[in-house]
């Protein structure tokens, strides 16, 4: 029993660090935010850790990257949205590939809509955040592709 708890804690900490690194290392976009591979790590968190621990690892790792990249204002949205992406993916991790991909797409679309709504509040304008929508879509689609490629080597860590 104790070995399993240690394994869960260790794998969760590792995935939090991977999400952080994959999110932190990115390219600043000229208008807002930055492009990164963090979404792939978010999806992997759900696939490896399941919905609950995946939510925590994705939310903490992504939020930590936002804070240390000086995007502190995005931390509340990131905690919820990235956590939800991992949660949805983790809920269907034992289903078929199509179901997993669908969950990833739904999670990505929720993230895009969530950031749009959050930014409308921040900017006080419903038009300004529209420019970020295509970049957020591209980012989560690339995240899906990378996660689907990387899940094979990571399956032995599945909890």
pLDDT more than 70, % of the chain: 95
- Measure CA 3 to chain center: 27
Nearest residue to 88 (alpha-carbon basis) of 59, 127, 125, 121: 59
- Segment among 27-31, 44-48, 96-100 with least mean pLDDT: 27-31
Domain that holds residue 64: 2-157
Strand partners, 35: 27
CATH number of the structural domain spanning residue 125: 1.10.1760.20
Work out how many domains the chain is built from and give that number. Answer: 1
85 neighbors 58 (Cβ within 8 angstroms): yes
Q: What angle do CA 113, 59, 74 make, to 5 degrees?
A: 55
For the cut 70, the answer to whether the pLDDT of residue 158 exceeds it is no
Nearest residue to 85 (alpha-carbon basis) of 122, 116, 47, 120: 47
For the chain, what is the radius of gyration of the CA atoms? Answer: 15
Average pLDDT over residues 40-45: 97
Average pLDDT over residues 38-54: 97
pLDDT at 1: 46
Q: Write down the mean pLDDT value for the chain.
A: 93
Say how many Å lie between the first and final Cα of the chain, rounded.
13
Residues sharing a CB contact under 8 Å with residue 155, sequence separation 6 or more, in sequence order: none
Average pLDDT over residues 72-80: 97
129 neighbors 120 (Cβ within 8 angstroms): yes
């Amino acid at each position: 029993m104790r070995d399993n708890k240690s394994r869960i804690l260790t794998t969760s900490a590792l995935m939090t660090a991977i999400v952080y690194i994959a999110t932190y290392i990115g390219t600043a976009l000229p208008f807002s935010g930055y492009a990164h591979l963090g979404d792939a790590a978010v999806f992997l968190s759900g696939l490896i850790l399941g919905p609950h621990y995946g939510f925590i690892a994705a939310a903490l790792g992504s939020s930590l990257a936002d804070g240390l990249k000086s995007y502190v204002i995005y931390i509340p949205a990131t905690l919820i949205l990235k956590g939800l992406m991992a949660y949805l993916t983790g809920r269907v991790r034992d289903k078929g590939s199509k179901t997993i991909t669908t969950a990833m797409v739904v999670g990505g679309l929720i993230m895009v809509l969530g950031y749009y709504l959050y930014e409308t509040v921040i900017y006080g304008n419903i038009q300004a955040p529209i420019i970020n929508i295509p970049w957020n879509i591209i980012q989560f689609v690339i995240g899906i592709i990378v996660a689907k490629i990387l899940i094979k080597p990571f399956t032995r860590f599945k909890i």
